Amino acid sequence: MREFFVVNGRRLSYLDFGGPGVPLLALHGHYNEASAFGPLAETLAPRWRVIALDQRGHGESDRAAGYGRDDYVADIAAFHRHLDLGPVAVAGHSLGGLNAYQYAARHPGRVTALIVEDIGAVVACDWSFTERLPLGAPSRRELIAALGPAAPYLECSVRRSGDGWGYSFGLEDTVRSQQALNGDHWDDWTGVSCPTLLVRGSRSDELAADHARAMVARRHGGAELVELPAGHVVHHDAPAEFADAVRDFLARSAAS
C-alpha cells in the first residue's frame, strides 16, 4: 500500500508491503525507489513486514532543495516518527545503506538491527554514469533499450513523463546527491551500537573486499560480513541468497 506524509512542506512517499510481521524499514539506492524491495518483502513475509521509503528526490517523493547527509538522515527520523513504531530493524542499499548506518549511529536505541548492502565507510562515488544516462525516450520500450545492460536495475524507476518516458528521479538531483555521498564516514560506522550485517557483492565495483573486512574488524565484533555472488545491487543479482542472509541475521539478532 502506498502512503504519504509531509515533512517541512515536502511530501514523502513510502510503500508498506503489509502483513502481520515485525517491521523492517528499507532504504533504496540511487536510481531506485521503494518498489525495488518488492521481491524481498514477498520473500521475508510473513515473519517480516517491509516498509520502504521513497527517499527525497526519488519515486513519488518530492524533489528537494538539498541532498546532504543530514537531510537524508532527518527524513529517516521523520519517517520513523510518522510510522509511530518503537525501535526497528533497518536495511539499506548503497545510498540507503549509508543513510541507514548514519541514522543508527546518530539515533542510538532506535535501530535494533542493521543491514548495510554494498557501501563503505569511505565513499568515492563516480557520477559519470548518471551524466551518461539517456534523458528520455518516446516510449518505455525505447528507453529500456537505450539503457542497455543497466535496464534491469533502473526499470522500476522508469515513468511516463509528459509526451515521453523518463525517470522517477532527476538526473541533476542525483548528481548532487552522489557528490554529497562522498567522504569519510568512519565515525558514523564505528558509532553504530546495534548488531550489523554488511553484505558485499563479490563482483562489486563499489565496495572493495579489503575495505569491507576492515569495516567489520573496526566494529570489534559488532558487525559481520557476508559476500554473495553479485555485483553492486546484491538484492537484484542474488535475490534468494540475499533474502536468506537477511532472514538468518534478523532471526539471530532477535534471539540475542
What is the grid cell recorded at 210?
579489503
What is the grid cell recorded at 252?
539471530
Answer yes or no: is 138 within a domain.
no
Cα atoms in the Cβ-side hemisphere of radius 13 Å centred on 201: 19
pLDDT of residue 240: 97
Q: In this predicted model, what pLDDT tens digit does every residue of 108-154 receive, in sequence order? A: 999 999 999 999 999 998 999 999 999 999 999 999 999 999 999 99
Q: Are 60 and 143 a contacting pair, CB within 8 Å?
A: no
What is the grid cell recorded at 18?
503489509
Q: Are 105 and 40 a contacting pair, CB within 8 Å?
A: no
Answer yes or no: is 195 within a domain.
yes
pLDDT of residue 254: 81
- CA dihedral sign, ordered 248, 31, 94, 98: negative
Answer yes or no: is 166 within a domain.
no
pLDDT of residue 97: 98
Q: Are 71 and 98 a contacting pair, CB within 8 Å?
A: no
Cα atoms in the Cβ-side hemisphere of radius 13 Å centred on 172: 4
Burial zone of 187 (CB within 10 Å; 0-12 exposed, 13-18 middle, 19+ buried):
exposed
Cα of first residue to Cα of last residue in the chain, in angstroms, is 32
Counting the structural domains of the chain, the total is 1
Answer yes or no: is 137 within a domain.
no
Answer yes or no: is 136 within a domain.
no
**Residue 138, by phi and psi: left (phi above 0), alpha (psi -120 to 50) or beta?**
alpha
What length does the chain have? Answer: 256
- pTM beyond 0.85: yes
Segments forming the whole domain that contains residue 54: 2-122+171-255
Residue 229, preceding peptide bond in cis (omega within 30° of 0): no
Residues of the chain with pLDDT under 70: none
Answer yes or no: is 196 within a domain.
yes
Share of the chain above pLDDT 70, in %: 100
Answer yes or no: is 54 within a domain.
yes
For residue 177, what is the domain's CATH number?
3.40.50.1820
Answer yes or no: is 68 within a domain.
yes
Q: Dihedral, CA atoms, 149, 153, 154, 157, nearest 10 degrees?
A: 160
Q: In this predicted model, what pLDDT tens digit does every residue of 182-205 receive, in sequence order? A: 999 999 999 999 999 999 999 999
Burial zone of 245 (CB within 10 Å; 0-12 exposed, 13-18 middle, 19+ buried):
buried
